[in-house]
Amino acid sequence: MTASPEIQEIAIVTGASTGIGAATARELARQGFHVLAGVRRDVDAEAIRATGIEPLILDITNPEHIQALATRVQGDSQGRAVRALVNNAAIQANVPIEAFALDQWRAMFEVNLFGQVAVTQTLLPALIASRGRIINISSVGGKVAMAAYGPYAATKFAFEAVSDSLRRELSPHGVHVIVIEPGAVRTAMLGRAIATAGELVSAMTPEQRQRYGALVHAVNEQAISSTKSGVPAQAAATVIAKAIAARKPRTRYTVGREAALLTMVRFLPDRVLDRVLAAALRPHYPKLPSVYDA
């Protein structure tokens, strides 16, 4: 299904400043949708603005921003239906559970789960009226919780559960809820996650740095290595557009070879999976004393 220029429909993409969100906004506009692209800053709005893309300042943890989005949708001058909501906004930090303060846990859940739920709740009447689609961007971290991915994986596991329940609730009303599970995708999100990890390591106690410094180093090096060989953001955008267009979409789509493999290995016994993940991480540990151990 491609939106007709004569009967243009609205697609909403949160977290559209960079990466998967920006690529998705451009792909959907190319296919004829009028895209409301949620961004955090004016400079991002100007960067994404284009034919078919209308940027909106949208912090999904801000109720006023969400209400402004709903008002924009309800007051659309052309009376266009909402075909799709792409819940993409997210933050990430690769850090051991002991070293991640509770207020940081809460902040991550506010963005990665509660904000997504708030946007979805607000737009559900319009999506039900149009029998539209909800596309929730999860992660392989929503299936496998690797070392130092605990907080991020916790939000994504929860987002997967919400998606399953929502799909079953909305199916009788003609609304498809679809989960996208990307693996390694070349985006700016990794750089931000590594920078955040560095800040958190510097705030650790000496004992925590001794326990986890080398682990954080290895996790970040592994992430950098896998991302270099990962797929471009456009690959994820293509899958998302396919999920919106499919007459009978699947409940889940993976993006990239790594995602497909990890969603399969999760069926291994726990101890076996522990050994597999540890072996994959081992080559990335520092060969010499790490700055993380200082």
Report the catalytic residues.
152
Q: How far is CA 164 from CA 121, 179, 202, 291, in A?
A: 15, 9, 38, 42
Q: Using CA atoms, how far apart are residues 93 and 96, in angstroms rounded to an integer?
A: 9
Q: Using CA atoms, how far apart are residues 124 and 131, in angstroms rounded to an integer?
A: 10
Any bridge partners for residue 252, and if so which?
Answer: 179
Counting DSSP H helices and E strands in the chain, the numbers are: 11, 9
Contact 127, 175 (CB under 8 A): yes
Q: Using CA atoms, how far apart are residues 240 and 122, in angstroms rounded to an integer?
A: 22
Cα dihedral 57, 120, 138, 263, rounded to 10, equals -170
Q: Using CA atoms, how far apart are residues 294 and 131, in angstroms rounded to an integer?
A: 56
The residues near 33 (Cβ < 8 Å, ≥ 6 apart) are 3, 8, 9, 10, 11, 52, 83, 84
Distance, first Cα to last Cα, the chain:
56
Strands 53-57 and 34-39: parallel
Residue found under tokens 């790490």: 290
Amino acid at 279: A
What tokens does 163 get?
A: 């998606």
Going through the chain in order, the beta strands assigned E by DSSP cover: 10-13, 34-39, 53-57, 82-87, 133-137, 176-182, 185-186, 231-232, 252-255
